[in-house]
């Protein structure tokens, strides 16, 4: 029976220490999870303030408004009827009840009912929420109840509320509900897949439990940096998504290698040493690569992306540490008992003694015709990526929220009855004295020129601060706030109307803000930062692969990442960074096995064949887990999650099959031993021990 061999790489040392101190490693991990979760709940998480000024011109104008006005949150209640008109007893009674109801709530001030639709079938009751507008949603409960009460008293009319605070509150609730649904369905589905992969409940439960504890620990620990860099509301769902995916994958790589070594006749200790030195090393390299890719999001200079960056880096780091410490600790204690609680039917379907037949046939065919296979795979990837040339960024807004939300229903009706009122633009004018004749005349010309474009609507309102230094001109515009018509209206105001009116007055600073302008500026910033982020991610991955494998060619291989064929139009930057990082799981794992076999004396062709065939089962299982988890997000209500889930699921499927199963072996076969080419001036790079001594037979992994 083979005995353990001492290894010097970091993953091997971590595994060896954890196995020798299994109680410290296991109970220390549990203590970390409990303490982290408790601390997070105690100090609370600080989320991104949606009212914080953003980039570009809109950000500058928002800061001027915040400095010159104490702007409260504005809300509107729509009263609409297909038959009754304003002035009729039924319609007026409904308006009266709404006014009376909202006026009685302590949070409401400045109630007014001056806006009536041209056809008289709709009216708006507008009011403000007292106090800080950033926390207005916390005081909306009684207001929403009074509106619901009015709707119940007048079932023949439509009565609904819309505003920045009510919309944010509804979206927050939708995000929370989606997160609960994702957790509810992803856990049992992942367990089922793991049972099929391992055939035993104990072996299947360990990766899932490690992933879940990593997610819970992250949920707690992110509270600490959130008070310096607030968290986007979507980040928690992304943590769950990435945490489950990488946590399960890392544990699967490690556990399956340990089981493989035991099946090959090694002692429990030797098998664990081998798994730590090989799969553990792959997990370490993969985890560092994923975290490096996520760090690229800091280069966007955007708070939302920065929060995605550090939260995903934290969950990947915690999952990686758990796989390198707690997993070997548990395996050292359980030994072969990890195979307990067999599932009989599933056990008969698994074959632990051989390589996957399907992937074996595919790889054999690819290696017989590598050039043809590479051309066909590359051509198919290019064809799949072609639609990306026509990606249209879908700006987030009411049109992208679930149609079932009450605020969205109200918004749609408001847009029909009062076009532009729901999401107007604001022209901000800052001057030493906005009441000076020159400034007042310029504002009058601004109103006239805006209406003359045909892209602005009435009524245009003007508010001035107490010091008379800032004027806020609110202009309803055509479109739905996020569509092409609204963007055209914004462009007309920014490019011509404002510069030629208020912007032409000496000593006056003027610009356009509002949700349409803010979304446009955010999109512009994201587009401008995309090349920088992509360049950073590619360079970091190249350097890490170069260091890990001491090969220029393997490092360059990551530049051929093609799984972005599944990128959704709304979040291309986020998807690129996450997909690139996750794809390195498979790349590192497969190439590590090929290099290991080559270093043990196999020819390049044999190493490629055996390496890909022997890892096909675990890569397939890991990909199925990822695709299943990501697909659940496609069923949620928020469009962000739908696009995110579909993009990730499709891309991971392509990456684990077409890229790793066809393109990788074909290109490595064509390159031969040139895969390990390293210029002489880079010979100083250290050699990282990650190989095993030769055995009689190559390792085998079961396939699904």
Say if 312 falls within a structural domain.
yes
Tokens of 587: 């790349």
> Does residue 655 have a pLDDT over 70?
yes
Task: Return the pLDDT at 421.
Answer: 64
Indicate the average pLDDT of the chain.
81
pLDDT in tens, 416-445: 888 766 678 899 999 999 899 999 999 999
Q: CA angle, corner 126, sides to 122 and 131, nearest 5?
A: 160
Tell me how far CA of residue 621 lies from CA of 194, 364, 698, in angstroms. Answer: 8, 21, 20
For range 152-174, the mean pLDDT: 86
The pLDDT confidence band at residue 703, using thresholds 50, 70 and 90, is very low
> How many other C-beta atoms can be found within 10 angstroms of the C-beta atom of residue 690?
24
> Does residue 480 have a pLDDT over 80?
no
Of 316-320, 466-470, 559-563, 678-682, which range is least confident? Answer: 559-563
| Higher pLDDT pick, 673 / 99 | 99
Q: Are residues 124 and 238 in the same domain?
A: no
Q: Are residues 275 and 176 in the same domain?
A: yes
CATH number at residue 149: 3.30.70.60
For range 141-164, the mean pLDDT: 90
Tell me how far CA of residue 418 lies from CA of 168, 396, 410, 411, 534, in angstroms. Answer: 21, 21, 11, 10, 43
Last residue of a domain, one of 492, 513, 534: 513
Q: Are 144 and 112 in contact (CB under 8 A)?
A: no
Q: Are residues 248 and 391 in the same domain?
A: yes
> Does residue 50 have a pLDDT over 80?
no
Q: Are residues 454 and 584 in the same domain?
A: no
Task: Return the pLDDT at 352.
Answer: 45
For range 332-337, the mean pLDDT: 85
> Does residue 391 have a pLDDT over 70?
no
Q: Are residues 677 and 612 in the same domain?
A: yes
Last residue of a domain, one of 123, 156, 189: 156
Q: CA angle, corner 572, sides to 402 and 514, nearest 5?
A: 60
Say if 29 falls within a structural domain.
yes
Q: Which residues pair with 512 in a beta bridge?
A: 427
- d(C-alpha 143, C-alpha 11), whole Å: 57
Task: Return the pLDDT at 97.
Answer: 92
Tokens of 457: 């609507």
Task: Return the pLDDT at 693.
Answer: 43
DSSP symbol at 231: B
Q: Are residues 537 and 587 in the same domain?
A: yes
Count of the separate structural domains present in the chain? 3
Task: Return the pLDDT at 542.
Answer: 65
Domain that holds residue 79: 72-156
Say if 468 falls within a structural domain.
yes
Say if 354 falls within a structural domain.
yes
The pLDDT confidence band at residue 53, using thresholds 50, 70 and 90, is low
Task: Return the pLDDT at 565.
Answer: 32
Say if 182 falls within a structural domain.
yes
Q: Are 689 and 9 in contact (CB under 8 A)?
A: yes
Q: Are residues 35 and 150 in the same domain?
A: no
Q: Are residues 502 and 532 in the same domain?
A: no
Say if 359 falls within a structural domain.
yes
Q: Are residues 36 and 180 in the same domain?
A: yes
Say if 193 falls within a structural domain.
yes
> Does residue 318 have a pLDDT over 90?
yes
Task: Return the pLDDT at 501.
Answer: 92
Q: pTM higher than 0.75 for the full model?
A: no
Q: Are residues 549 and 678 in the same domain?
A: yes
Say if 67 falls within a structural domain.
no
Q: Are residues 532 and 483 in the same domain?
A: no
Name, in order, each residue with C-beta under 8 angstroms of 517's C-beta and a sequence gap of 6 or more: 56, 57, 58, 61, 425, 426, 490, 494
Q: Are residues 383 and 451 in the same domain?
A: no
Q: Which of 378, 358, 242 is nearest to 654 (CA)?
A: 378
Of 220-224, 386-390, 572-576, which range is least confident? Answer: 386-390
CATH number at residue 488: 3.30.70.600
| Higher pLDDT pick, 671 / 88 | 88
Last residue of a domain, one of 125, 156, 187: 156
Task: Return the pLDDT at 562.
Answer: 34
Of 74-88, 505-519, 606-620, which range is least confident? Answer: 606-620
């Amino acid at each position: 029976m083979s005995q353990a061999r001492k290894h010097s790489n970091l993953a091997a040392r971590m595994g060896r220490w954890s196995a020798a101190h299994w109680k410290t490693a296991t109970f220390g991990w549990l203590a970390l999870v409990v303490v982290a979760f408790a601390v997070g709940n105690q100090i609370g998480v600080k989320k991104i303030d949606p009212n914080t000024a953003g980039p570009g011109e809109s950000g500058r104008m928002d800061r001027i408004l915040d400095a010159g006005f104490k702007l409260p949150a504005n809300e509107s209640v729509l009263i609409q009827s297909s038959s009754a008109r304003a002035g009729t007893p039924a319609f007026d009674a409904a308006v009266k009840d709404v006014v009376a109801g909202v006026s009685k709530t302590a949070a409401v001030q400045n109630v007014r009912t001056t806006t009536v639709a041209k056809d008289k079938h709709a009216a708006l009751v507008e009011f403000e929420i007292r106090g800080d507008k950033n926390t207005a949603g916390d005081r909306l409960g009684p207001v929403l109840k009074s509106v619901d009460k009015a709707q119940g008293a007048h079932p023949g009319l439509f009565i609904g509320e819309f505003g920045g605070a009510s919309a944010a509150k509804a979206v927050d609730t939708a995000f929370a509900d989606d997160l609960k649904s994702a957790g509810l369905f992803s856990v049992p589905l992942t367990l089922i897949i793991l049972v099929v992969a391992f055939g035993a409940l104990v072996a299947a439960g360990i990766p899932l439990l490690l992933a879940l504890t990593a997610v819970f620990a992250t949920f707690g620990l992110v509270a600490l940096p959130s008070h310096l860099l607030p968290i986007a509301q979507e980040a928690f769902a992304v943590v769950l998504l990435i945490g489950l995916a990488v946590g399960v994958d890392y544990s699967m790589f490690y556990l399956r290698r340990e089981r493989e070594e035991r099946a090959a006749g090694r002692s429990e200790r030797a098998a664990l040493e081998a798994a730590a030195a090989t799969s553990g090393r792959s997990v370490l390299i993969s985890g560092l690569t994923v975290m490096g890719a996520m760090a690229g999001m800091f280069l966007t200079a955007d708070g939302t992306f920065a929060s995605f960056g550090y939260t995903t880096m934290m969950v990947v780091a915690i999952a990686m540490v758990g796989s390198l410490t707690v997993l070997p600790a548990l395996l050292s204690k359980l030994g072969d008992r990890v195979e307990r609680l067999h599932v009989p039917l599933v056990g008969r379907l698994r074959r632990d003694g051989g390589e996957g037949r399907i992937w074996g046939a595919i790889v054999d065919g690819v290696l017989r015709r590598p050039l043809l296979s590479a051309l066909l795979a590359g051509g198919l990837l290019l064809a799949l990526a072609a639609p990306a040339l026509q990606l249209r960024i879908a700006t987030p807004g009411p049109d992208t929220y679930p149609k079932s939300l009450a605020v969205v229903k109200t918004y749609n009706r408001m847009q029909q009855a009062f076009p532009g009122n729901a999401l107007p633009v604001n022209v901000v004018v800052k001057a030493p004295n906005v009441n000076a004749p020159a400034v007042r005349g310029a504002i009058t010309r601004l109103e006239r020129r805006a209406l003359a474009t045909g892209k602005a609507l009435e009524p245009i309102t003007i508010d001035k601060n107490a010091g008379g230094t800032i004027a806020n001109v609110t202009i309803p515009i055509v479109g739905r706030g996020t569509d092409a018509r609204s963007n055209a209206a914004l462009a007309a105001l920014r490019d011509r109307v404002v510069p030629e009116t208020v912007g032409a007055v000496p000593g006056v600073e003027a610009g356009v803000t509002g949700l349409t302008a803010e979304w446009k500026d955010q999109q512009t910033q994201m587009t401008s930062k995309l090349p920088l982020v992509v360049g950073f991610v590619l360079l970091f991955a190249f350097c890490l692969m170069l260091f890990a494998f001491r090969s220029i060619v393997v490092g360059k291989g990551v530049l051929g990442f093609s799984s972005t064929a599944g990128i959704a139009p709304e979040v291309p930057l986020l998807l690129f960074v996450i997909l690139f990082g996750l794809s390195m799981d498979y790349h590192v794992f497969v190439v590590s096995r090929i290099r290991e076999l080559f270093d043990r004396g196999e020819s390049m062709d044999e190493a490629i064949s055996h390496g890909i065939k022997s890892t096909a089962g675990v890569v397939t299982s890991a990909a199925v887990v990822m695709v299943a988890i990501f697909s659940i997000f496609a069923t949620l209500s928020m469009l962000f999650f739908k696009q995110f889930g579909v993009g990730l699921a499709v891309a991971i499927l392509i990456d684990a099959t077409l890229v790793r199963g066809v393109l990788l072996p074909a290109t490595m076969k064509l390159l031969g031993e040139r895969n390990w080419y390293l210029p002489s001036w880079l010979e100083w790079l250290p050699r990282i021990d990650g190989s095993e001594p030769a055995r009689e037979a190559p390792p085998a992994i079961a396939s699904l």
